[in-house]
Amino acid sequence: MDNTHSTMENKTNNQPYDVIIIGGGPAGGTASIYTSRAKLSTLVIDKGLTAGALGITGNIANYPGFDAIKGSDLVEKIRTQAMSYGAEFITDRVIGVDLLSDVKSVFTNTGTYEARAVVIATGSMGRKALVQGEQEFLGRGVSYCAVCDAAFFKDKEVAVAGNHDEAIEEALYLARFVKTVHLLSPTPELKAPQHLVQEVSNKSNVMLYPGAVLREISGNGHVDGVRFTKRGEGDYTLSVDGAFVYLQGGQPITDFLMGQLETNDNGCLMVDRTFQTHIPGIFAIGDVLCSHIKQAVIAAGDGATAGIAVEKYLTGRKQMGYDWVH
């Protein structure tokens, strides 16, 4: 494989990125600071500011340099710094990858992107247990992509389950097509930036159900309803034609890898001391690793180490650089 260094200035739309980072939390965001500062063309693909563990954290009091800061604010500051060095950020969901070719491919809901190296920083908010009926009606009313499927539900009733910015943005997109969006938030308050909360609250055809926990998606060949519970109030049912699920859990998010990387018994990725997996040029950092201590500062440290390692891999250097070298 040719690891000739290419700068961001030389990149065109027909060339692969030097590195794609999947996940824009403290690990992925910090990695993007280091790669973009090293003049590597860097693309970060992330589901949203509040789609990760840090983004939904109220206040962080132990991150160096801040007395206290909201998790989403810290993520945004990291991204702003990375973008000042030239890193690109897009909001999208990764649904598949090809890591085995020399040029790696990353497939999202809206496009395909290529790079010579990939950093996986998708965290551990994945779900192991699906909602009853979710798998049964997948593709028959159950969807994870409003952009892909909204047109199929024109003038119909749909449910959206989730409480973070990805869920809200998808609900707002659906509202352009459907009759009514029933937004089921599993928490009493939405965990999203205030401007999104305000926008969805003002949308006339979006009905918000605070504290509504999705329990079942029902149907007869196709989705025809959902059942949810509210604490202290029992069960409720809604007649809908579609269910868009954006819920979070506590499992490493690795389903999009399609078995191309080794995982341990807990579903976590395995890496060497530079955070490289068994495939050269593929790195993994943050909460997607079982050995990782779940602290933002530790994730940022992972990102720094991996960012330097990516630059070393792509340029063929044998030693790590120093951050005071310009």
Q: Are residues 235 and 268 in the same domain?
A: no
Q: Are residues 255 and 210 in the same domain?
A: no
Task: Look at residue 73 in the predicted model and tell me its pLDDT.
Answer: 82
Active site residue 148: yes
Q: Are residues 168 and 226 in the same domain?
A: yes
Residue 325 is assigned to a structural domain of this protein: no
Q: Is 115 left (phi over 0), alpha (psi -120 to 50) or beta?
A: beta
- 114: containing domain: 8-126+251-315
The CB density around residue 13, as the number of other CB atoms within 10 Å, is: 4
Q: Are residues 151 and 171 in the same domain?
A: yes
Task: Look at residue 298 in the predicted model and tell me its pLDDT.
Answer: 86
Catalytic residue among 148, 235, 272, 323: 148
Residue 137 is assigned to a structural domain of this protein: no
Catalytic residue among 73, 98, 145, 224: 145
Q: Are residues 231 and 271 in the same domain?
A: no
Residue finishing a domain among 228, 245, 262? 245
Q: Are residues 203 and 234 in the same domain?
A: yes
Which residue is listed with tokens 């809206």?
110
What is the number of domains present in the chain? 2
Q: Are residues 122 and 161 in the same domain?
A: no
From first to last of its 326 residues, the chain has per-residue pLDDT tens of: 333 333 344 444 579 999 999 999 899 999 999 999 999 999 999 987 655 555 445 567 667 777 777 777 888 899 999 999 999 999 999 999 999 999 999 999 889 999 999 999 998 766 767 899 999 999 999 998 888 899 999 999 999 999 988 899 999 999 999 999 999 999 999 988 889 999 999 999 999 999 999 999 999 999 999 999 998 898 999 999 999 999 877 778 898 999 999 888 888 899 999 999 999 999 999 988 976 666 778 888 999 999 999 999 999 866 554 443 33
Catalytic residue among 18, 149, 165, 302: 149
Residue finishing a domain among 217, 245, 273? 245
Q: Are residues 260 and 188 in the same domain?
A: no
Task: Look at residue 1 in the predicted model and tell me its pLDDT.
Answer: 34
Cα distances from 181 to residues 69, 163, 243, 248, in angstroms, run: 33, 14, 10, 20
> Which one, of 54, 53, 93, lies nearest residue 73 by Cα?
54
Residue 268 is assigned to a structural domain of this protein: yes
Distance CA 217, CA 242 (A): 9
First to last CA, the chain: 28
Q: Are residues 237 and 270 in the same domain?
A: no
Check which CATH number belongs to the domain holding 176 and give it: 3.50.50.60
Tell me the residue length of the chain: 326
Residue 322 is assigned to a structural domain of this protein: no
Residue 293 is assigned to a structural domain of this protein: yes
Active site residue 2: no
**Cβ-Cβ contacts under 8 Å for 127 (sequence gap 6 or more):** 247, 248, 249, 251
Q: Are residues 106 and 177 in the same domain?
A: no
Residue finishing a domain among 226, 245, 264? 245
Task: Look at residue 193 in the predicted model and tell me its pLDDT.
Answer: 84
Active site residue 149: yes
Q: Are residues 154 and 99 in the same domain?
A: no
Residue 323 is assigned to a structural domain of this protein: no
Q: Are residues 255 and 237 in the same domain?
A: no
Residue 132 is assigned to a structural domain of this protein: no
Task: Look at residue 58 in the predicted model and tell me its pLDDT.
Answer: 53
Residue 133 is assigned to a structural domain of this protein: no
